[in-house]
Amino acid sequence: MEAPDCEVLSVREQLFHERIRECIISTLLFATLYILCHIFLTRFKKPAEFTTVDDADATVNKIALELCTFTLAIALGAVLLLPFSIISNEVLLSLPRNYYIQWLNGSLIHGLWNLVFLFSNLSLIFLMPFAYFFTESEGFAGSRKGVLGRVYETVVMLMLLTLLVLGMVWVASAIVDNNKASRESLYDFWEYYLPYLYSCISFLGVLLLLVCTPLGLARMFSVTGKLLVKPRLLEDLEEQLYCSAFEEAALTRRICNPTSCWLPLDMELLHRQLLALQTQRVLLEKRQKASAWQRNLGYPLAMLCLLVLTGASLGQVSFSKLGSFGAVVQVVLIFYLMVSSVVGFYSSPLFRSLRPRWHDTAMTQIIGNCVCLLVLSSALPVFSRTLGLTRFDLLGDFGRFNWLGNFYIVFLYNAAFAGLTTLCLVKTFTAAVRAELIRAFGLDRLPLPVSGFPRASRKTQHQ
C-alpha cells in the first residue's frame, strides 16, 4: 500500500473513531439525564394510577411516564447546553494541547446542540401530544378494548393535530412574509419547516420567560427567607413555636372529643391539619437549634448574593472580557435566571394549578409540566443571548432565528424585562416593609369586623 493511501486510511480511521467517541459521550450524557429525571418523576407520580385493576390503564400510564421522562431529560439538557458550551470553550482556550481533553472538541459541542434541537422538536410536536392523547383515549367505538385500540385512536388524533399545526404555520408564514420563495421553502419539511416552527415555539417561550422571570426574581427573596433562619431581630421563633403548639393541642382535643361540639366535624380534614401543624412544629424546632453563625451570617450573605445576582442580570455587563472568571459568572447567572423563571412560573396565578405535588400528581398534570419546562428551557439560550448575559454564539439551528438580529425587538425586550423586574422587586420589598410596620405597631392583632351584624346605634349603646 502506497503512502498516500495510508494517509487517507488513517484520516478515515481518525474520523471514524471521533464519530464513535462522540456517539458514546452523547449516549452516556443522555442516559445520566434520563436516570435522574426518571427518579425525579417517580417521586411525584400518583401510585394509584400505576396499580389499577385495569392492566391497560397501567400500561398506558407507564408508557406516558417514559415519554415524559424523555422530554424532561431533553429539557434538562437544553438548560445545561449553554453553560456546558461556555465552560468547554474556556477549557479549550486554556489547555489547547492537553491530551486528556482532546475529546472535548467543537464537533462534539455542535453535535449536542443539534441533538437537543432535534429531540426538542420531536418531544414538543409528536411525543407529548401522543402521550396526552394516549392517556385520554379509550379506543374507537366497536373496536377491541386494549392498548392497541388506544394506539390507533391516538395516531389518528395526532395526524389530525399535525395537519392543523402545519396549516396554521403555513398561513402564519404567508401573512408575516408574503413572499413566494419563503412559502415554497416551507415545503422542505426538514430544512425550513421544523426550524420555523421551533422558532415560533421558542419565541413564545421567550415571552413566557419575560413574564415569569421578573416574578421569580422577586419571589426568590421570600423563598430564600423561608428556607434560611432569620436573625432574632427579624423573626421570633419562640412565639411561632408557642402558637404552633397551642394550635396542635387544640386540634388534638377536637379529634379526641368529637362529640363535645354540636357542629359536624370532618375528621379527615382535621387529621390533615394536625399533620401539617406537626410538620411545621418540627421545622421550627430545627430552625431554633441553628447556630449563631448560621442565624446571623447565613441569611445576610444569602440576601446579599441574591441582590448581586439580580443586579448583574439587569445590568448590561459583558463578562466575556474577564476570562475564566467571567465564564463562571455567566454560568451562575444562567442557572440563576432558569431557577428564577421556574419559581416565577409556578408562583404565577395562571400556572399555579400545574404545581406538582409529592406522590399526588396526575399523569396529565405531569405531561403539562414537562411541556412547559421544555418550552422554558429551550428558550433559555435565546433568552440569555437576548439579554446580553453572554456573547457566546448560538450553535446549530438555534442561531437561525432571524429576530435575534433585529435591534428594535432586542431593545424593547430588554427594556420590558428591566421595567417588569424593577416593578416586581419594588412591590415585593414595599410589601415586606408594610408587613413589618403593621407587625411592629401591633395592627395585625386587631379584631376583624364581623359582617352580617349591624353596628349598634348611640341610643342603644347608652341604654
Classify residue 452 as left (phi > 0), alpha (psi -120 to 50) or beta: left
Q: Reduced to 3 states, what is the DSSP secondary structure of residue 450?
A: coil
Question: For the residues of 391-436, what is the DSSP string, one character each?
Answer: -PPPPGGGGG-GGGG-HHHHHHHHHHHHHHHHHHHHHHHHHHHHHH
Written as nine digits, the cell of 149 is 385500540
Residue 312 exposed, middle or buried by CB count within 10 Å (0-12, 13-18, 19+): middle
| Nearest one of 304, 337, 307, 348 to 215, comparing CA atoms | 348
Between helices 380-387 and 194-227, what is the axis angle to 10°? Answer: 80
Chain centroid to CA 191: 29
- Cβ contact 83:335 at 8 Å: yes
Between helices 55-94 and 380-387, what is the axis angle to 10°? Answer: 40
- Please calculate the CA angle 304-310-313 and round it to the nearest 5 degrees: 140
- Which residues, listed in sequence order, are joined to residue 361 by a DSSP beta bridge? 45
Backbone CA torsion sign across 321, 323, 325, 327: positive
Residue 461: the pLDDT is 42
Provide the mean pLDDT of the chain.
Answer: 76
| Nearest one of 387, 415, 429 to 219, comparing CA atoms | 429
Residue 400: the pLDDT is 60
Written as nine digits, the cell of 140 is 374507537
The residue behind cell 396542635 is 248
Residue 32: the pLDDT is 93
Note the pTM of the prediction, 2 decimals: 0.76
What parts of the chain have a pLDDT lower than 70? 1-9, 52-54, 142-143, 173-174, 176-196, 229-237, 258-267, 286-296, 315-323, 391-405, 432-433, 436-437, 439-463
| Nearest one of 209, 381, 229 to 302, comparing CA atoms | 229
For the chain, counts of helices (H) and of strands (E): 16, 0
Amino acid at 140: F
For residue 408, the number of C-alpha atoms closer than 13 Å in the C-beta half-sphere is 0
- Which residues, listed in sequence order, are joined to residue 45 by a DSSP beta bridge? 361
What CA–CA distances, in Å, run from 184 to 121, 149, 169, 189?
A: 21, 38, 13, 11
Q: Phi and psi of 333, rounded to 5°?
A: -65, -40
Residue 404: the pLDDT is 65
- Cβ contact 309:332 at 8 Å: yes
Q: Reduced to 3 states, what is the DSSP secondary structure of residue 317?
A: coil
Residue 462: the pLDDT is 42
Residue 359: the pLDDT is 80
Residue 234: the pLDDT is 56
For residue 437, the number of C-alpha atoms closer than 13 Å in the C-beta half-sphere is 6
| Nearest one of 382, 417, 392 to 78, comparing CA atoms | 382
Buried b (16+ CB within 10 A) or exposed e, 187-197: eeeeebbbbbb
